[in-house]
Amino acid sequence: MNLFREIWQSIVRRDPLSTDKGKSELVFLNVWLHIHPAKVKKENMKFRHTFYLGFITFFLFLILVTTGIALMCYYRPYPPQAYQDMKDLQFVVFMGPFLRNMHRWAAHGMVVCVFLHMCRVFYTGSYKKPRQFNWVIGVFLLLLTLGLSFTGYLLPWDQLAYWAITVGTNIGSYAPFIGGQVRELLLGGHSVGEGALIRFYVLHVAVLPAAVILLTIVHFWRVRKDGGLSRPIWKLKAKAGELVTIGTPAPTAPLAVAASITKTYGLMEVVTGKPIFEAVTPEEEEDTVFSYPYAFVREAVTLMATVTTIMTMSLFLNAPLEELANPAKTPNPAKAPWYFLGLQELVSHSALLGGVVAPALMVLALLAIPYIDRNPSRRPGDRRWVLWLFTIFVVANLVLIVIGTFFRGPGWALVPPWVHVVGGAE
């Protein structure tokens, strides 16, 4: 019995919960609870503030990791076995279609949710000081998500995959000077083939997920360290000046470190001044609740809602699988994955402007947003034209994607989706 208690003690390493110290250690010593602050503001938990989009994105990522690892057990990343493995998943593997459907729909869902999450953060002005850099990390996470989805797109090795990646990587090759080389590095050759498949596989299952996990940790950590979630719009104070700024300490100010005879302090531990936070009044301080269970139960509900939604979709909607990839047979039109169809649409008008300049500017603009928009106010009334600008950006993207997806027929001609075009190849 003693041994069991010892083992248990070695795991939880805290005092009994009957003591106050034990109660606090329950949170402090637990890595999962420690990601959360001990207490959260009630208003920050409101669904209409964040729509829980960040959490949904994260949970979709968890679904993707879980189903992805299961799929790896059935997948050989070289042609044409890769395609045969897809067929085996469809016809032979127990619950194989369900597994693949979940992975597919969660992947599309993650692209959508990560984008919506970005929109929410923009519209609530939550990228503003002190959260500028977390926005930048978020943009990189968006790019990584697109990269993950794009690399995963090739793996089934069917016509859809083959030509989407051919078109997608061609768009990249329009970049001057380095475009061709980057494409060659990515594909391991001049066209999509065995080399490309193994490279995309490695990127998809190892490199990109590792990068996403790393950046997600930083992203979450910064949410906490930048003062928790931003305050909902409707709780903003009437006037600007909501931040407590760092005061430069007077030269004579003593180091804010309690002197100790027994310990030597490193420079990083010498703290002067205060970190910048949104100012919190005592009343607001009172309007908080413990993360556990209040925030936790909401997260748990979000997790289960996400999982059940994806499962329901997977039960009824099958992930597409076309014919075996055939480099000699180009579908007309050959389309990139849907989230790149806006780009492809632009490319169809101008390869250099649409394929290189526009996306590069888009990414740079996204990264620079918190540093360009120096207006400290988060209230919509104070930032009207910024909101309009961003709305135009979002709508333009959506319109281009819709045109590329539904309104482009053979030869990239403008064809409404309700008109059936008889294939010109025969």
Partner 1 sequence: MERRLQQVFFALSFLALLLIVAAAWQANTPSWKTYQRNFLQLEAQGEPNAVTKAAVLATPPEIHQVMLTGLQRVDRCTTCHMGVEDPTMKNAPEPFRYHANLGPHIPSRFGCTICHGGQGLATDKEGAHGNVAFWPNPLLSKDYIRASCGRCHKEGQVPGVPELTEGRRLFETQGCRGCHKLNGVGGSIGPDLTAEGANRRAPEWLEKHFLTPSAVSAGSAMPNFHFTKEQARALTYYMLSLTSEEMGSYFSSVRLIPGPEYGRQLFIEKNCITCHNVGGVGAKVGPDLMGVTRQHSTEWLDEQLVNPELVYPGSSMPAYDLEANARKALLAYLESATPEDAQLILSRRPRALTPEDVAIEAGKQDFARFGCVGCHGTELQGGVPNPNAQGGEVPSLLHVSDDYTKDEVIAIIRNGRAPPLENTAGPTPPLYMPSWKKVLSDEDINRIADYMWSKQEKKKDSW
Please report, as ranges, the residues that interact with partner 1 according to CB under 8 A: 80, 84, 87-88, 90-92, 94-98, 158-159, 293-294, 297-298, 300-301, 304-305, 307-308, 311-312, 314-315, 321-323, 426
Other beta carbons within 10 angstroms of residue 359's beta carbon come to 19
Based on C-alpha coordinates, what's the Rg of the chain? 26
Name the minimum Å distance from CB 41 to partner 1. Answer: 16
Greatest distance between any 2 Cα atoms in the chain: 88
Q: Which is nearer to partner 1, 270 or 297 (CB)?
A: 297
Name the minimum Å distance from CB 80 to partner 1. Answer: 6
289, β-bridge pairs: 40
DSSP state of 40: E
* Residue owning tokens 């709508």: 395
* Residue owning tokens 């597409």: 320
- Relative orientation angle of helices 81-91 and 96-123, to the nearest 10 degrees: 100
Q: Which is nearer to partner 1, 177 or 316 (CB)?
A: 316
Name the minimum Å distance from CB 315 to partner 1. Answer: 6
Name the minimum Å distance from CB 24 to partner 1. Answer: 22
Length of the chain as a residue count = 426
Q: Which is nearer to partner 1, 90 or 377 (CB)?
A: 90
Q: Which is nearer to partner 1, 36 or 378 (CB)?
A: 36
Q: Which is nearer to partner 1, 333 or 380 (CB)?
A: 333
Name the minimum Å distance from CB 321 to partner 1. Answer: 7
User: Cα–Cα distance between 310 and 12 in angstroms, integer?
Assistant: 34
**In the numeric block, which tokens belong to residue 419?**
């008109």
> Which amino acid is it at 19?
T
Q: Which is nearer to partner 1, 124 or 314 (CB)?
A: 314
The string of DSSP letters for 218-256 reads: HHHHHHHHTTSSPPPGGG--SSS--EEPPPPPPTTPPPS
User: Cα–Cα distance between 426 and 117 in angstroms, integer?
Assistant: 45
Going from the C-alpha of 395 to that of each of 29, 134, 391, 399, the distances in angstroms are: 46, 24, 6, 6
> Which residues neighbour 289 within 8 Å (Cβ) at sequence distance 6 or greater?
39, 40, 42, 45, 295
* Residue owning tokens 């699988």: 321
Name the minimum Å distance from CB 329 to partner 1. Answer: 9
* Residue owning tokens 């998943």: 89
Name the minimum Å distance from CB 320 to partner 1. Answer: 8
Q: Which is nearer to partner 1, 97 or 380 (CB)?
A: 97
Name the minimum Å distance from CB 47 to partner 1. Answer: 11
Name the minimum Å distance from CB 304 to partner 1. Answer: 4
Q: Which is nearer to partner 1, 300 or 398 (CB)?
A: 300
Q: Which is nearer to partner 1, 91 or 177 (CB)?
A: 91
